[in-house]
Chain A
């Protein structure tokens, strides 16, 4: 797991409430990512970060925002959760060196009722 943790690991919330998921890494990886995993869709990139305060959108960014104020933390916020955001969310990180393989966190299962 290359020292990547996610919190919370499980969350149930109601439609319309804000939700923040946290990803923390201890390996000083430069690049960090948030994906969502849904049946039939594989992993889809929500947002990613290429450095502190540097972020960019992925393919499914609507309804999500991110922040990265420190190298080790990458936060994903659902401003007003909807049922369509029920999913498993994975954080990943990579050094940005030759191999660029991503290391993944354990995932957060989010249910929006």
Chain B
């Protein structure tokens, strides 16, 4: 059974600080997705990582994928309050199935 584990589950950080969210998964999938959810809202796509070594950056967020370690990271640089949200990673169950398993999410709060 595919498991997708995120840590930490909760993260409170000061503005201007750096931090990393980790996403570990238990299959050989080479596709990993990051989503953001604001409180009371829906999910929106942040990054699509399609292969080992993939790195994507958008503003203060950078995501990477290591398929050999079955690990993805979401790095936050110089956090600002607007980044406060819940971040989910998701993995395709098996290549070509188009079924996705989500992690439990990391709730990030950036304090001014």
Chain A residues in the interface with B (C-beta under 8 A): 1, 31, 33, 35, 40-45, 48, 50, 56, 58-59, 90, 92, 94, 96, 98-107
CA gap between A107 and B42 in the complex, in Å: 6
> What are 11 inter-chain pairs, A to B, with CB distance below 8 A?
A41-B104, A42-B88, A42-B102, A45-B99, A45-B100, A48-B99, A56-B99, A58-B99, A59-B101, A99-B48, A106-B41
Query: How many residues in B have their beta carbons less than 8 Å from beta carbons of A?
Result: 21
Interface of B is mostly: strand
**Closest-CB distance, B90 to chain A (whole angstroms):** 8
Pick from B42, B44, B98, B104: contact of A31, CB under 8 Å: B98
Please tell me if the beta carbons of A43 and B102 are within 8 angstroms of each other in the complex: yes
Cβ contacts under 8 Å, A104 to chain B: 35, 42-44
Please tell me if the beta carbons of A44 and B92 are within 8 angstroms of each other in the complex: no
**Closest-CB distance, B72 to chain A (whole angstroms):** 14
Of chain A, the residue at the smallest CB distance from B46 is A101
Cβ contacts under 8 Å, A33 to chain B: 100
**Contact A45-B48, Cβ < 8 Å, known A105-B42, A106-B42:** no
